[in-house]
Structures are given as C-alpha cells and as structure tokens.
Amino acid sequence: MRELMTVIKALADENRVRVVMALRPKELCVCQLVELLGLAPSTVSKHMAILKQARLVDSRKQGRWMFYRLADDDASVEAKAMTALVARLLADDRRVREDAKRMKQILKIDPEELCRKQNRC
C-alpha cells in the first residue's frame, strides 16, 4: 500500500501529471519541461524529484543536460498502472492536447537556446 500512496501523492499535482503526459511519447530535457510548464527551473526540479522518488520517471545526465523519461524497468507495478490510468483518463483532456501542441513547438527550439533563455547556461 505504501508504494501506491507514494504514486498517488506524486500524481496529486496538476504540473506533475502534465509532465507524465508530456513524457509519454519521448524523453525530454529539463529545459523543455521548464518551457512547457512555465515554472522556475528549481520548481520543475522539485517536481521531477517527487516523480522520481515515486519511481514514475527515470533520469540521465549527459554533460550538463538532464533528461527525463517515464520509468520502465525500475517502475513499480503501481506506477505503471497509475501512469496507464492517467493516460487513459486524460486522453481527450483539453490541457493535455494543448501541452502536446505546445511541445511540438518547443521541440523545434534548440535546447541550447532554451537553456540560455532560462539563464541555465
């Protein structure tokens, strides 16, 4: 039950759910997530730490870049089930559709440019 409660608590925030939905198709750099959410980098990092603690996402560092993806092998049964449930329930959600459209635009921007814009470089 503890594992399920950790996952539920991690998904109890709209921004974290938006991140989970944004990561469904592909791995993203933290600067891309910052751009999508419109939050401070430190706030996005805190959200990502909560998602990682719940084993909903995995991360990898490549040089100075931090990339996130939905957890696969390391994900708990609860995390996998809740991710699938959230995706199914929000498949037609307006905000999720808007985020997907916005992410297509963000992916066209060079990550270096995003980083500079966010004063992360």
Architecture (CATH level 2) of domain 2-117? Orthogonal Bundle (1.10)
Q: Would you give per-residue pLDDT tens digits along the chain (121 residues)? A: 888 999 999 999 999 999 999 999 999 999 999 999 999 999 999 999 999 999 999 999 988 889 999 998 778 899 999 999 999 999 999 999 999 999 999 999 988 888 878 776 5
3-state helix, strand and coil shares in percent for the chain, rounded to the nearest 5: 60, 10, 30
Taking the CB of residue 90, how many other CB atoms lie within 10 A of it? 16
Whole-prediction pTM: 0.91
Query: What's the rounded Cα separation, in Å, for the pair 121 and 103?
Result: 21
Query: What's the rounded Cα separation, in Å, for the pair 120 and 25?
Result: 25
